[in-house]
Amino acid sequence: MRTEILRADETAIEHAAQIIRSGGLVAFPTETVYGLGADALNADAVRKIFIAKERPFDDPLIVHIAHVHQLELLARHIPQRAWDLVKKFWPGPLTLVLPKTDRVPSVTTGGLDTVAVRAPAHPIARRLVELSERPIAAPSANRFGRPSPTTAQHVREDLDGRIDLILDGGPTPIGVESTVLDLTQDPPMILRPGGVTLEALQEILGEVRLLGSALSEAAKRSPGTRWRHYAPQAKLILAEPAELEQIVGDVLRSGRRVGVMIRESRLWTAADSLRVIQMPLDLSEYARRLFAALRELDAHGVEVIVVERVEERGLGRAIMDRLRKAAQTPPQ
Ligand code: TXA
Ligand code: MG
């Protein structure tokens, strides 16, 4: 059966909250990407998320709250710097990793004794959590490993028939996921760069570490940072601006269809086997377009996607993180 998409007015959100309360699955917009929500304190409901997404059970979920006081229900030993961050960045795209309380079922945290919590800023997400009267566990609402969904239609592409409802709130305004910050270590460590930048966190925290890209370290600290993630079906190649034309030419000559994501306009000879998406120079606009562009090129059936690198500052770090993971081949 097809999964229904409802425009997210108050009646639809109330209906969605009812589904969450009775242990079902609802996809909903947040300011970052669409999430796939279930009652975070109901282990059976949370288990359905992993099954619908085909996500490994050891990859922990983010728990969404509407009010700061719900944090104390989920996390213990909340340090002062957590409150400083909450004050500055919540509601918003910052996820905090803290030691969990016994209320949080271990399936929600992938068996870890820490929990990741965020208060989303999107009015539909907030209202849904409020009306559900419980925290909502929600990973991105994509099939595991695929580019994250930034529209209700993307959610349907990946999860149709597997979930109870999709709330449509239009395209998500940020387009890349929240920053995941581990506060159980000193200095705090960014496990996944996202909507709140390293520079903004440094202003509050002083020293902040960025999780190295070494596979072993990444996999240990945050299971979800394992490779080949956010990935289109096509093979993705990251290119320096200067080498881009050469690479695209080589792929075309090998007889494969190629998609290109570039920021500077260039002259391309029209070809059936070549599809070019002009990406914005502005990093916020780029982030908003990123996952939709990958899905669009997949839909055109290109075999290779060549993407021009972006500068690694501000949101550029989150963008490059996603592109690098999409370009990785799985470890042997
Ligand atoms: O913006 C977002 O964060 C979106 C929206 C829906 O809120 N959610 C999202 O969830 O991106 P997901 O499951 O796709 O990514 C969650 C990330 C994963 O990399 C996971 O490993 C990490 O957060 N994570 C969750 N709990 C953790 C924990 N206790 N310790 C370390 N990493 C954790
Ligand atoms: Mg995800």
The per-residue pLDDT for range 162-199, each reduced to its tens digit, is: 999 999 999 999 999 999 999 999 999 999 999 999 99
Q: What's the rounded Cα separation, in Å, for the pair 128 and 137?
A: 12
- Within 8 A by CB and 6+ apart from 26, the residues are 16, 19, 20, 36, 37, 38, 128, 163, 164, 165, 166, 167
Q: Is it the case that residue 117 has pLDDT exceeding 60?
A: yes
Atom of ligand 1 at shortest distance to CA of 148? 14
pLDDT for the residue numbered 271: 78
CA of 63 to the centre of ligand 1 (A): 9
pLDDT for the residue numbered 68: 96
Both structure tokens of 1? 């059966």
Average pLDDT over residues 218-241: 76
Q: Is it the case that residue 215 has pLDDT exceeding 80?
A: no
pLDDT for the residue numbered 332: 39
pLDDT for the residue numbered 216: 56
Q: Is it the case that residue 204 has pLDDT exceeding 80?
A: yes
Both structure tokens of 141? 């609402």
Probe target for ligand 1 pocket from 54, 59, 62, with the most ligand atoms within 8 Å of CB: 62
Work out the number of other CB atoms within 10 angstroms of the CB of residue 327.
17
pLDDT for the residue numbered 232: 84
Q: What's the rounded Cα separation, in Å, for the pair 54 and 145?
A: 9
pLDDT for the residue numbered 129: 98
Percent of the chain past pLDDT 90, that is, above it, reads 88
Q: Judge if pTM exceeds 0.85.
A: yes
Q: Phi and psi for 287 in degrees, rounded to 5?
A: -60, -40
The 10s digit of each residue's pLDDT in 291-325 is 999 999 999 999 999 999 999 999 999 999 999 99
Probe target for ligand 1 pocket from 90, 112, 140, 184, with the most ligand atoms within 8 Å of CB: 140
The 10s digit of each residue's pLDDT in 32-85 is 999 999 999 999 999 999 999 999 999 999 999 999 999 999 999 999 999 999
Q: Is it the case that residue 331 has pLDDT exceeding 50?
A: no
Taking the CA of 92 as reference, the closest ligand is: 1
Higher pLDDT, 225 or 265: 265
Query: Cβ < 6 Å from ligand 1: which residues?
Result: 30, 32-33, 35, 59-62, 93, 95, 97, 109, 112, 114-116, 120, 138-140, 177-178, 180, 191-192, 222-225
Probe target for ligand 1 pocket from 25, 30, 61, with the most ligand atoms within 8 Å of CB: 61
SS3 per-residue string spanning the chain: CCCCEEECCHHHHHHHHHHHHCCCCEEEECCCCEEEEEECCCHHHHHHHHHHHCCCCCCCCEEECCCHHHHHHHECCCCHHHHHHHHHHCCCCEEEEEEECCCCCCCCCCCCCEEEEECCCCHHHHHHHHHHCCCEECCECCCCCCCCCCCHHHHHHHHCCCCCEEEECCCCCCCCCCEEEECCCCCCEEEECCCCCHHHHHHHHCCCEECCCCHHHHHHHCHHHCCCCCCCCCEEEEECHHHHHHHHHHHHHCCCCEEEEECCCCCCCCCCCEEEEECCCCHHHHHHHHHHHHHHHHHCCCCEEEEECCCCCCCHHHHHHHHHHHHCCCCC
Atom of ligand 1 at shortest distance to CA of 223? 21
CA of 237 to the centre of ligand 2 (A): 21
- For ligand 1, atom 31, the nearest C-alpha belongs to 222
CA of 37 to the centre of ligand 1 (A): 13
Ion ligand 2: residues, CB < 5 A: 140
pLDDT for the residue numbered 227: 56
Average pLDDT over residues 274-285: 95
The 10s digit of each residue's pLDDT in 241-278 is 999 999 999 999 999 999 999 997 776 777 789 999 99
